[in-house]
Protein backbone atom coordinates (compact mmCIF):
# COMPACT_ATOMS: atom_id res chain seq x y z
CA UNK A 1 0.00 0.00 0.00
CA UNK A 2 1.25 3.41 -0.94
CA UNK A 3 0.68 5.69 2.08
CA UNK A 4 -2.18 8.15 1.76
CA UNK A 5 -1.54 11.67 3.07
CA UNK A 6 -4.24 13.97 4.32
CA UNK A 7 -3.86 17.44 5.80
CA UNK A 8 -2.80 16.05 9.20
CA UNK A 9 -2.44 12.29 8.78
CA UNK A 10 -0.56 9.53 7.04
CA UNK A 11 -2.60 6.37 6.39
CA UNK A 12 -0.20 3.47 6.02
CA UNK A 13 0.38 -0.19 6.66
CA UNK A 14 1.08 -1.41 10.17
CA UNK A 15 4.61 -1.45 11.60
CA UNK A 16 5.92 -3.25 14.66
CA UNK A 17 6.26 0.11 16.44
CA UNK A 18 2.42 0.33 16.38
CA UNK A 19 1.85 -2.76 18.52
CA UNK A 20 1.54 -1.00 21.88
CA UNK A 21 -1.15 1.33 20.54
CA UNK A 22 -2.92 -1.55 18.80
CA UNK A 23 -2.92 -3.55 22.07
CA UNK A 24 -4.32 -0.58 23.94
CA UNK A 25 -7.19 0.24 21.56
CA UNK A 26 -8.29 -3.39 21.48
CA UNK A 27 -8.43 -3.63 25.27
CA UNK A 28 -9.58 -0.15 26.29
CA UNK A 29 -13.08 -0.18 27.80
CA UNK A 30 -14.10 3.08 26.10
CA UNK A 31 -12.83 2.08 22.67
CA UNK A 32 -14.35 -1.41 22.92
CA UNK A 33 -17.62 -0.26 24.52
CA UNK A 34 -19.67 -1.69 21.65
CA UNK A 35 -17.77 -4.97 21.32
CA UNK A 36 -18.55 -8.08 23.39
CA UNK A 37 -14.88 -8.87 24.12
CA UNK A 38 -11.47 -7.37 24.78
CA UNK A 39 -8.34 -8.66 23.06
CA UNK A 40 -5.26 -9.69 25.00
CA UNK A 41 -1.82 -8.85 23.56
CA UNK A 42 -1.42 -12.14 21.70
CA UNK A 43 -4.85 -11.85 20.07
CA UNK A 44 -4.27 -8.19 19.21
CA UNK A 45 -0.88 -9.06 17.67
CA UNK A 46 -2.50 -11.73 15.52
CA UNK A 47 -5.19 -9.29 14.40
CA UNK A 48 -2.65 -6.58 13.55
CA UNK A 49 -0.64 -9.11 11.54
CA UNK A 50 -3.82 -10.13 9.73
CA UNK A 51 -4.60 -6.48 8.94
CA UNK A 52 -1.02 -5.99 7.67
CA UNK A 53 -1.31 -9.06 5.44
CA UNK A 54 -4.60 -7.92 3.92
CA UNK A 55 -3.14 -4.51 3.13
CA UNK A 56 -0.08 -6.09 1.52
CA UNK A 57 -2.30 -8.40 -0.54
CA UNK A 58 -5.15 -6.06 -1.48
CA UNK A 59 -3.56 -2.60 -1.29
CA UNK A 60 -6.14 -1.45 1.26
CA UNK A 61 -7.57 -2.47 4.62
CA UNK A 62 -7.91 -1.19 8.16
CA UNK A 63 -4.71 0.83 7.99
CA UNK A 64 -2.72 2.62 10.67
CA UNK A 65 -3.50 6.33 11.03
CA UNK A 66 -0.45 8.36 12.01
CA UNK A 67 -0.22 12.04 12.88
CA UNK A 68 2.09 13.38 10.17
CA UNK A 69 3.70 16.02 12.39
CA UNK A 70 4.67 13.62 15.19
CA UNK A 71 4.74 10.11 13.68
CA UNK A 72 2.38 8.95 16.44
CA UNK A 73 -0.04 6.15 15.53
CA UNK A 74 -3.54 7.01 16.79
CA UNK A 75 -5.55 3.99 15.63
CA UNK A 76 -6.94 2.78 12.33
CA UNK A 77 -9.24 3.87 9.55
CA UNK A 78 -9.76 2.04 6.30
CA UNK A 79 -11.69 -0.09 3.87
CA UNK A 80 -12.23 -3.81 4.26
CA UNK A 81 -14.08 -6.60 2.48
CA UNK A 82 -16.99 -7.65 4.67
CA UNK A 83 -18.65 -11.01 4.27
CA UNK A 84 -20.33 -11.28 7.67
CA UNK A 85 -23.33 -9.00 7.14
CA UNK A 86 -26.37 -11.12 6.31
CA UNK A 87 -28.15 -8.33 4.42
CA UNK A 88 -25.20 -7.68 2.05
CA UNK A 89 -23.66 -9.69 -0.78
CA UNK A 90 -20.22 -11.18 -0.20
CA UNK A 91 -17.42 -8.84 -1.22
CA UNK A 92 -19.16 -5.67 -0.06
CA UNK A 93 -16.62 -3.07 1.08
CA UNK A 94 -17.05 -1.38 4.44
CA UNK A 95 -15.33 1.64 5.90
CA UNK A 96 -14.43 1.41 9.57
CA UNK A 97 -12.30 3.00 12.27
CA UNK A 98 -11.01 2.75 15.81
CA UNK A 99 -8.96 5.44 17.55
CA UNK A 100 -7.46 5.80 21.01
CA UNK A 101 -9.80 7.99 23.12
CA UNK A 102 -7.41 10.92 23.49
CA UNK A 103 -7.76 11.45 19.71
CA UNK A 104 -11.57 11.47 19.64
CA UNK A 105 -13.39 14.66 18.75
CA UNK A 106 -10.56 16.15 16.70
CA UNK A 107 -11.90 15.28 13.24
CA UNK A 108 -9.24 12.67 12.52
CA UNK A 109 -11.69 9.87 11.63
CA UNK A 110 -13.67 12.07 9.25
CA UNK A 111 -10.48 13.37 7.62
CA UNK A 112 -9.06 9.88 7.13
CA UNK A 113 -12.39 8.40 6.06
CA UNK A 114 -12.80 11.07 3.37
CA UNK A 115 -9.42 10.03 1.95
CA UNK A 116 -10.44 6.37 2.02
CA UNK A 117 -13.74 7.14 0.29
CA UNK A 118 -11.81 8.92 -2.47
CA UNK A 119 -9.53 5.87 -2.78
CA UNK A 120 -12.49 3.50 -2.87
CA UNK A 121 -14.48 5.39 -5.45
CA UNK A 122 -11.65 6.76 -7.61
CA UNK A 123 -8.98 4.04 -7.44
CA UNK A 124 -10.97 0.88 -6.73
CA UNK A 125 -13.96 2.15 -8.75
CA UNK A 126 -16.41 0.85 -6.16
CA UNK A 127 -20.10 1.43 -6.74
CA UNK A 128 -20.86 1.59 -3.02
CA UNK A 129 -19.20 1.66 0.39
CA UNK A 130 -21.08 0.75 3.57
CA UNK A 131 -20.55 1.18 7.26
CA UNK A 132 -22.30 -0.30 10.26
CA UNK A 133 -22.28 0.00 14.01
CA UNK A 134 -24.18 -1.05 17.10
CA UNK A 135 -27.44 0.91 17.07
CA UNK A 136 -26.44 2.78 20.27
CA UNK A 137 -23.00 3.80 18.97
CA UNK A 138 -23.96 7.42 18.35
CA UNK A 139 -20.36 8.63 17.86
CA UNK A 140 -19.74 6.30 14.91
CA UNK A 141 -23.17 6.96 13.45
CA UNK A 142 -22.44 10.70 13.59
CA UNK A 143 -19.27 10.12 11.54
CA UNK A 144 -21.24 8.10 8.97
CA UNK A 145 -23.68 10.98 8.61
CA UNK A 146 -20.84 13.54 8.27
CA UNK A 147 -19.46 11.40 5.44
CA UNK A 148 -22.78 11.69 3.60
CA UNK A 149 -23.78 8.09 4.24
CA UNK A 150 -27.48 7.29 4.42
CA UNK A 151 -29.23 4.95 6.80
CA UNK A 152 -30.80 1.84 5.27
CA UNK A 153 -33.12 0.61 8.06
CA UNK A 154 -34.30 -2.30 5.90
CA UNK A 155 -30.74 -3.67 5.93
CA UNK A 156 -30.16 -3.33 9.69
CA UNK A 157 -29.13 -6.68 11.14
CA UNK A 158 -28.20 -8.70 14.19
CA UNK A 159 -24.45 -9.21 13.93
CA UNK A 160 -23.72 -12.95 13.69
CA UNK A 161 -20.40 -12.59 15.57
CA UNK A 162 -22.00 -11.09 18.67
CA UNK A 163 -22.90 -13.81 21.17
CA UNK A 164 -26.38 -14.07 22.65
CA UNK A 165 -24.83 -13.22 26.02
CA UNK A 166 -24.61 -9.59 24.79
CA UNK A 167 -28.08 -8.90 23.31
CA UNK A 168 -27.65 -5.11 23.63
CA UNK A 169 -24.73 -5.30 21.16
CA UNK A 170 -26.35 -7.52 18.51
CA UNK A 171 -28.45 -4.98 16.58
CA UNK A 172 -26.41 -3.06 14.01
CA UNK A 173 -27.52 -0.20 11.81
CA UNK A 174 -26.29 -0.05 8.23
CA UNK A 175 -25.34 3.09 6.32
CA UNK A 176 -24.57 3.31 2.61
CA UNK A 177 -22.80 5.71 0.27
CA UNK A 178 -22.95 5.24 -3.48
CA UNK A 179 -20.19 6.40 -5.77
CA UNK A 180 -22.73 8.63 -7.49
CA UNK A 181 -23.76 10.32 -4.23
CA UNK A 182 -20.10 10.72 -3.28
CA UNK A 183 -19.40 12.47 -6.60
CA UNK A 184 -22.33 14.84 -6.01
CA UNK A 185 -20.98 15.71 -2.53
CA UNK A 186 -17.48 16.19 -3.93
CA UNK A 187 -18.73 18.59 -6.62
CA UNK A 188 -20.84 20.52 -4.10
CA UNK A 189 -17.82 20.95 -1.79
CA UNK A 190 -15.79 22.76 -4.46
pLDDT at 86: 82
Q: Is 112 exposed, middle or buried (0-12, 13-18, 19+ CB in 10 A)?
A: buried
pLDDT tens for the chain, 190 residues long, are 899 999 999 999 999 999 999 999 999 888 988 888 888 889 999 999 999 999 999 999 999 999 999 999 999 999 999 987 888 998 899 999 999 999 999 999 999 999 999 999 999 999 999 999 999 999 999 999 999 999 999 999 999 888 899 989 999 999 999 999 999 988 888 7
Distance between CA 52 and CA 15 in Å, rounded?
A: 8
pLDDT at 186: 86
What 3-state DSSP class applies to 27?
Answer: coil
Distance between CA 148 and CA 153 in Å, rounded?
A: 16
DSSP state of 78: E
pLDDT at 34: 87
Are the C-beta atoms of residues 137 and 34 closer than 8 Å to each other? yes
Distances (CA, A) of 53 to 13, 44, 48, 105, 117: 9, 14, 9, 30, 21
Q: Can you identify the CATH homologous superfamily of domain 4-189?
A: Gcn5-related N-acetyltransferase (GNAT) (3.40.630.30)
Helices (H), 83-178: 108-118, 138-146
- CA nearest neighbour of 116 among 76, 77, 81: 77
Domain segments of the chain as ranges: 4-189
Amino acid sequence: MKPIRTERLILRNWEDRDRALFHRINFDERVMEFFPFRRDCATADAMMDEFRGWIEEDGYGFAAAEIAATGECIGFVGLLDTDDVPSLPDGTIEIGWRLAPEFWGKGYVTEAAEAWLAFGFETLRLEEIVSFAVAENHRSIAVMKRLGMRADPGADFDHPSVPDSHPHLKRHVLYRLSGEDWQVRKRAAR
